[in-house]
Chains A and B, each alone.
Chain A
């Protein structure tokens, strides 16, 4: 049995703004086991980055407020911890890889000290040992001539190399959990492929758990064991990667899958775009937040929020369509055909 590393229970986060209280995260639940990768997907504003920043307690308070719930890391709740206590966990137990490697690195500091800084902070080692460890890390993330690169400034490196440095910093103190917030969005596909391979490789060696935030479903299919689909501050579907891609149950997941062309799409057909745009979380709509954009919405969707229905042991979805009394809908044709195509192509 794998060990449960992190468990998030009914997490609620609000932001106080001049316009009112924005309910950015509205009751999120998930758990992550050792050595596993959880991908969180969703549009901008769906709360995926807020959720991940909350795990590190990086949200400035105010304006952010932890309005409820628990973040259990190895069984210990992080929310009541003080800043000082969190400092021991950040970088050491939980580390983060940011989207834009240029802004994540200090441009006035050589990359070597940016790595040893973390090691010296969290480990009882001498400066020389820290340096040796940093060079080893640079080597591990695939940077050629690590001894020489140790003294390089970030601007001397390409985007892909910079992201490798950011990963090396994140790995410096052997974290148990790595949070990667769109780590490849700013990179070219070939570089993206290398970075994803690197992350999987590291995970295999050190049994790190990874939370991977992205909006690219191709990347999700590549890295994830489990997937959480977020919409309007809530997880609307949660399951293994195969559950989500081959047996999606939530109309929003159908919409995401349908709106992305893959290399098998014919040019003549229009994409199945999701109409409209996400709701304003200053005043979340009554009932199902997705109802207004959902062509399969039932009358109850506008009245009452659906609960999480269990589809299988690993698979949950938050839609009234799964209620026993709901009409049985076939999958939208475009999505069904694509899944059919996957199964053929995959074998």
Chain B
């Protein structure tokens, strides 16, 4: 069994006033194992991006614990600790147009991180590093001197990936990394992410709303709704045997590139049931967790 690389325990992230806070994340717990891809899916506003941003310390969390390699990330008080953490965990952003500084060349963007961490001895080594990173994401060394606007969307996202890889992290949070790209380019980027994972033993938290793509890239999947994780389990298990009515509804809404199937597909509408007081995370099948009361879960499993 692989080691736990990240443990999230009772994470809460509230925004706005103390009196009537917006509960973006309302107490979620999950683990991520080394070398796996955990897919986080849900509709817009369900808190999936906030989860990623809280884990990487872009927000000060309201409550709960985030343990990365056994250490609580919010205990990193000194600059040295924080820098060490930043080297281990990096992020790939959704919009490859907004996430690259238009005034910097690709080389400068990629090198910024190791400039800060002073990870090279001389200019030649720095140039070599930039070149090899560009090559590892399928670009050319010559691209280092170009500005972001000279690249296509797919190429920009490759630069974003090269930047995330520049410190040789072990954990990458990919927040909708492909949803701004064209279908044929999406496949290129997803293949690249998979290949890099194999080569470097990376662990991914993959946040997306495209369920087919999440199913394809993830080992395990967590389904979020209104700040809670409703269901978590192996990707195949979630797709083939969903238990929570929300997951069933979500899966039934995904159109498939198959006309005959589409003519027969019936969408299951979802009616939100407030979670009762005694709701908890229940292991309904081995490794398959559902949030609800005992009564609800047994009812859902039999329906």
Neighbour of A256 across the interface among B44, B183, B216, B267, CB < 8 A: B183
Shortest Cβ distance from residue B250 to the other chain A in the assembled complex, whole angstroms: 6
Q: Mark B241-282, 1 if CB is under 8 A from A, else 0.
A: 000000001110111111111101101001000000000000
Interface size class of B (residues with CB under 8 A): 35 or more
Please give, as numbers and ranges, the residues of chain A lying within 8 Å of B235 by CB-CB distance.
267
Contact, CB under 8 Å: A277 / B154: yes
Q: Please tell me if the beta carbons of A222 and B262 are within 8 angstroms of each other in the complex.
A: yes
B257–A221 CB distance below 8 A = yes
Does B249 lie within 8 Å of A271, measured CB to CB? no
Complex contacts, B264 vs chain A, CB 8 Å? 346
Which B residues touch A65, using CB under 8 A?
none
Write out the residue numbers on chain B whose beta carbons fall within 8 Å of the beta carbon of A191: 43
Cβ-based interface call for B8 (8 A):
no
Measured in the bound complex, the distance between the Cα atoms of B250 and A221 in whole Å is 18
B101 contacts the other chain (CB 8 A): no
The answer for the CA separation of A262 and B210 in the assembled complex, in Å, is 10
B113 at the interface (CB under 8 A from A): no
Does the CB pair A265–B261 fall under 8 Å?
Answer: no
Q: Contact size class for A?
A: 35 or more
B184 and A274 contacting across the interface, CB-CB below 8 Å:
yes
Query: Contacting B256 at CB < 8 Å: which of A224, A262, A273?
Result: A262
**Contact partner of A218 among B188, B215, B254, B267, CB < 8 A?**
B254
- Per-residue interface assignment for chain A, residues 187 to 220, with 1 indicating a CB less than 8 Å from any chain B CB and 0 otherwise: 0111111101100000000000000000111111
Given A215-B183, A218-B212, A277-B185, A271 contacting B256 (CB threshold 8 A)? no
- Say yes or no: A345 contacts B212, CB within 8 Å: no
Is B187 interfacial (CB-CB < 8 Å)? yes
A165 interface residue per 8 A CB criterion: no
Given A193-B255, A222-B255; A260-B212 close (CB under 8 Å):
yes
In the complex, whether B294 has a CB less than 8 A from a CB of chain A is no
**Is there a chain A Cβ closer than 8 Å to B126's Cβ?**
no
Q: Does A60 contact B (CB under 8 A)?
A: no
Distance, CA A64 to CA B153, complexed state (A): 24
Q: Is B191 part of the contact surface with A, judged by Cβ < 8 Å?
A: yes
Asked whether A43 is an interface residue with its Cβ less than 8 Å from the other chain, the reply is yes
Question: Which B residues lie within 8 Å of A217 (CB)?
Answer: 183, 257
With an 8 A cutoff between CB atoms, is B3 at the interface? no
Q: Are A221 and B44 in contact (CB under 8 A)?
A: no
Closest to A241 in B: B259
Nearest-neighbor residue (CB-CB) of B260 within chain A? A346
Q: Which chain A positions have C-beta within 8 A of B44?
A: 159, 188
Do the beta carbons of B258 and A342 come within 8 Å of each other? Answer: yes
CB atoms of A265 and B255 under 8 A apart: no
Complex partner residue of A262 from B154, B155, B187, B212, CB under 8 angstroms: B212
B255 contacts A267, C-beta separation under 8 Å: no
Q: Which residues of A contact B253 (CB under 8 A)?
A: 189-190, 192-193
User: What separation, in Å, do the CA atoms of A333 and B239 have in the docked complex?
Assistant: 25
Q: How far is the CB of B268 from chain A (nearest CB, A)?
A: 10
Q: Within 8 Å CB of A271, what residues of B? A: 187, 190-191, 216
Asked if B209 lies at the interface with its beta carbon under 8 angstroms from chain A, I say yes
- Would you call A80 an interface residue if the criterion is a C-beta within 8 Å of the partner chain's C-beta atoms? no
**Given the interface contacts A190-B43, A193-B255, does A270 sit within 8 Å of B191 by beta carbon?**
yes
Q: Does B257 lie within 8 Å of A245, measured CB to CB?
A: yes
On whether the beta carbons of B213 and A273 are closer than 8 Å, the reply is: no
Restricting to A246-286, which residues have a CB under 8 Å from any CB of B? 246, 255-263, 265, 267, 270-275, 277
The answer for the CA separation of A216 and B265 in the assembled complex, in Å, is: 17
Per-position contact with A for B160-181: 1 when CB-CB < 8 Å, else 0? 0000000000000000000000
> How far, in angstroms, from A322 to B19 measured CA to CA in the complex?
69
Contact (Cβ within 8 A) B257 A220: yes
Q: Return the contact of B216 from the options A44, A219, A261 (Cβ within 8 A).
A: A261
Could you tell me the distance between the alpha carbons of A263 and B217 in the complex, rounded to whole angstroms?
11
Q: Are A260 and B187 in contact (CB under 8 A)?
A: yes
Is B186 part of the binding interface, using a Cβ–Cβ cutoff of 8 Å?
Answer: yes
Closest chain-A Cβ to B256's Cβ sits at a distance in Å of 5
CB distance from B158 to the nearest CB of A (A): 11
Q: Give, as a whole number of angstroms, the nearest-CB distance from B8 to chain A.
A: 23
Nearest neighbor of A293 in chain B, beta-carbon distance: B184
**Nearest Cβ distance between residue A46 and chain B, in whole angstroms?**
9
The answer to whether A263 touches B184 (Cβ under 8 A) is: no
Q: Is A17 an interface residue (CB 8 A)?
A: no
Q: A263-B215, A267-B235 are in contact. Are A190 and B270 (CB under 8 A)?
A: yes
**Is B73's CB within 8 Å of the partner chain A?**
no
From A258, A261, A272, B212 is in contact (CB under 8 Å) with A261
B216, A218: Cβ atoms closer than 8 Å: no
A–B Cβ pairs within 8 angstroms, 28 of them: A43-B183, A189-B43, A189-B253, A192-B255, A193-B255, A215-B182, A216-B183, A217-B257, A218-B212, A218-B254, A218-B262, A221-B261, A241-B259, A242-B260, A256-B184, A257-B257, A259-B184, A259-B187, A260-B186, A261-B213, A265-B215, A267-B216, A267-B218, A267-B219, A277-B152, A277-B185, A346-B258, A347-B260
* Known interface pairs A221-B259, A267-B235, A270-B191; 11 further A-B residue pairs with C-beta atoms within 8 A, sorted by A's residue number: A159-B44, A189-B254, A192-B253, A242-B259, A260-B187, A265-B215, A271-B191, A274-B188, A277-B154, A342-B260, A346-B260
Q: Which residues of A contact B (CB under 8 A)?
A: 43-44, 159, 188-194, 196-197, 215-222, 224, 241-242, 245-246, 255-263, 265, 267, 270-275, 277, 342-343, 345-347
Q: Chain B: residues with CB nearer than 8 A to chain A?
A: 43-44, 152-155, 182-188, 190-191, 194-195, 209, 211-213, 215-219, 235, 239, 249-251, 253-262, 264-265, 267, 270
